[in-house]
Amino acid sequence: MRSASAFTTTLMALVICASLSGCGPRGRPQAVDRRATLIAVATIYPLYDWLRVLGGDEVEAHCLLRPGDSPHTYAPQPQDAQILGRAALLVMVGKGLEPWAEKLGTSVAGLRIIKLGEGIGALGDDEYERHEGDIDQRAGHDHPEGNPHVWLSPRLAIMMVERLAEALSKADPANADAYYSRSEAYIRELAALEDEMKARLALYRGRRVVTCHAAFDYLLDDVGLALQASIQPYPGKEPSARYLEALVTWMREHNVKTVFAEPQLSPKAANVIASEVGGKVVILDPLGDPADPGRDSYLKMMRYNTEQLAYGLGGE
């Protein structure tokens, strides 16, 4: 086994994960229909998918983020203002995830900004405070409004979809019945998804997991799992060598063999840690992928994550 100093040197050289990606296989996914009466723009792909489902032919949906973009660090492009200049609604998560989007949106006259995640979720910064070397304190996001990844909980997604239906109906009253009807049908699918996820992962309740960054806490909470630690406090911030050594020590002591990484983030640090504990890296996806038939919708993405959790925790 390598020395602690050799491990630390190798790990610190690899630890910075790549930025979160956004939407679309090669460009901005769009559902352009000239019969549409309402133009709406989403910041990230899961919200764009909800716009497609609820909007039907009545909504022309756009997504701002492209492959490789991060909602945490995205720098708006000139074409973003052009798209928003035509839109009636800008749909975002809020909770500090996309401050650039709010800044851009407020510069567009007449644009309504809808923050679907505001006021929901109970995981705040105090639950993510990281003490150096103590992996019982979890590394989270540097967001005053708490962890913003609320869309990764089907339970909270239901609340967000209800808000989206209301926003679409207010913006386009003539088609309100259609928006509410589609939202009711979709909410039934989300409720069934939550039950399905809980049943699939019931065997692993109480287990604690290690991830690349703290994106999945709400999902884990829904199914009776918990985040023990994340490699990164938040995207772009390096953890200390002491923290990483403590994480490896804890994993060895508790026989934790899996690190959950993300397709939008570099797996190098996760691979090094997994190698140190004789384990494996398993991929979870917080954003989905329109180019992958297994993850090209919110429902498919969440089922994919459920199966990946089951595989990582039990090997089945």
Each residue's pLDDT tens digit, 25-70:
334 444 444 446 899 999 999 999 999 999 999 999 999 987 667 7
> What topology is assigned to 30-194 in CATH?
Rossmann fold (3.40.50)
What is the per-residue pLDDT across 250-264, written as a single tens digit (0 to 9) for each?
Answer: 999 999 999 999 887
pLDDT band per the 50, 70, 90 thresholds, residue 224: very high
Q: Residue 137 above 90 pLDDT? A: no
How many Cα atoms within 13 Å fall on the side-chain side of residue 298? 25
Domain with CATH 3.40.50.1980 in the chain: 4-19+204-314, 30-194
**Strand locations in the chain (E):** 30-31, 38-42, 59-63, 89-92, 112-115, 208-211, 226-230, 258-261, 280-283
How many Cα atoms within 13 Å fall on the side-chain side of residue 30? 11
- pLDDT at position 71, please? 84
Longest dimension (CA), the chain: 68
Q: Are 233 and 184 in contact (CB under 8 A)?
A: no
What is the per-residue pLDDT across 208-220, written as a single tens digit (0 to 9) for each?
Answer: 999 988 899 999 9
Q: What is the pTM of this model?
A: 0.84
- 4-19+204-314 in CATH: which number? 3.40.50.1980
